[in-house]
Structure 1
Amino acid sequence: MGRTDLTEQQWAILAPLLPKNPKKGHAYKDHKPVLNGIIWRQKTGATWRDIPERYGSWKTCHDRFTRWSRSGVWAEILAALHLKADAEGKIDWEGAAADSTHVKAHRAAVGARKEPAKLGKKGALEDEWLGISRGGRTTKIHVLMDGKCRPLSVLISAGQASDPTYLVPLLEAVRVGRPGPGRPRKRPPTLRMDRAYGARKYRRALRARKIRCVCPERQDARKARLRKGKRGGRPPKFDAEAYKGRQVVERGINRLKDFRAIATRYEKRGHQFLAGVHLACILLWL
């Protein structure tokens, strides 16, 4: 068993969630060695051709990773793990926190065809999420973690994108299903964020969703409020003790970047990079 391979406990949880053999065409090669090969590549950041032979053909690993990224299988597995954890009461909703991180794009990530990537029934993905910022070619990962450093939702954007503009989409992406009837759970009771998210309109967006905002006041907002005097209103409430819990999102991002294929972007296509992030999230939940 390799250092990056799935344990027996992890495989027992994951195996029932994987796609069955197709009714037509060739049957799938056994999922376990192929998945271990994919995980090895994501962990090490090596090229697909360097996947060890004990995992089988590197082409099989690459093809299955790409096919499942196009059909949305990785996202479906992650949603199933969310449902299972919530049914068992293992999601720490109270400690939720949100933030983002930059990912430097390798030169191999540049040069994708300028045409939409076909993603099965979900239509097409026209954005490869490669931006140009001070750090050069970069991609940004926006993530909302529970209180145990595990991702509840994740979004990808170009590197120059503003963090707070993705706050509402990040909240909308939280959809933890329920084992029986009922709507999926979408709202943590409290959300911790740094002062980049401290503008008034984002605080209003959280208030409209009945989410308690734990975020320090921005310096420019404070100066503008003080210039207005009494008309500026009261300062926003800030719980410094609760804010200490924001470290869970920083720790969660560090755990995601333990996967070298996420710490540096090597994938040309955006849907493949997103699939790699989904796979890392799956392993954090396992």
Structure 2
Amino acid sequence: MRRHELTDHEWESLPALIPRAATGRPRVEDRQVINGMVYPIRTEVSWRDLPERYSSSLTVHTPFRRYALGGMFTRALQPIQAAADSAGNIDCWCRSTSPSSAATDRNGIRSPEEPDDRTLGRS
């Protein structure tokens, strides 16, 4: 395991959440792709600068986008937050009241689909 990769403990809960394709080209190992998703987040490098050991940036970014839009990251985070909360590792829920917390377009106009009570989670 390298510095910016998931530990075995962090990896344990993820395989059940990863969607499986029924057909298509042979897959790159899921853990390799997930570590490729984690690397740019932890190091703040661009997707194009992803090290080759994680496969191509397209191979990693395509499922990253699909998982983000499909809510996979939210589903993975919820049990982690619940476990941290029950262990007493989270102090309080925080709610942002600033207008910048609402989804807006380029002109600063708020999206009508965005609920008024949008929360950002715990801190």
Same fold, TM-score > 0.5, yes or no: yes
Which residue does the alignment assign to 2:35? Answer: 36
| CA radius of gyration, larger in | 1
Please give the secondary structure, in 2, of the residue aligned with 1:23: coil
Q: Which amino acid aligns with 1:39?
A: V
Supply the distance in 2 between the matched residues of 1:167 and 1:98 (Cα, whole angstroms).
15
Range that drifts further, 72-81 or 36-45: 72-81
The answer to which structure, 1 or 2, has the higher relative contact order (CA under 8 A, 6+ apart) is 1
How many angstroms does 1:167 deviate by? 7.3
Supply the distance in 2 between the matched residues of 1:27 and 1:80 (Cα, whole angstroms).
30
Kept in 2: contact 1:38–1:61 (CA 8 A): yes
How many angstroms does 1:80 deviate by? 3.9
How many angstroms does 1:92 deviate by? 5.9
Which residue does the alignment assign to 1:63? Answer: 62
Quote the RMSD (CA, aligned, Å).
3.6
Please give the secondary structure, in 1, of the residue aligned with 2:61: helix
For structure 1, list consecutive stretches of 5 or more residues without a partner in the other structure: 103-130, 132-139, 142-155, 175-248, 253-286
Please give the secondary structure, in 2, of the residue aligned with 1:28: coil
Q: Which amino acid aligns with 1:157?
A: A
Which residue does the alignment assign to 1:49? Answer: 48
Kept in 2: contact 1:18–1:77 (CA 8 A): no
Which residue does the alignment assign to 1:268? Answer: none
How many angstroms does 1:24 deviate by? 2.9
Q: Which amino acid aligns with 2:11?
A: W
More strand by share: 1
Q: Which amino acid aligns with 1:98?
A: C
TM superposition score normalised by structure 2: 0.69
The number of equivalent residue pairs is 116
TM superposition score normalised by structure 1: 0.34
Identical-residue share of aligned pairs (%): 25
Which residue does the alignment assign to 2:11? Answer: 11
Which residue does the alignment assign to 2:118? Answer: 169
Supply the distance in 2 between the matched residues of 1:40 and 1:92 (Cα, whole angstroms).
25
How many angstroms does 1:99 deviate by? 4.6
How many angstroms does 1:91 deviate by? 5.3
How many angstroms does 1:32 deviate by? 0.7
How many angstroms does 1:31 deviate by? 1.1
CA deviation profile, 1:75-105 (whole Å, cap 9, x unmatched): 222234345x28x933567x423154x9xxx
Please give the secondary structure, in 1, of the residue aligned with 2:39: helix
Please give the secondary structure, in 1, of the residue aligned with 2:103: strand
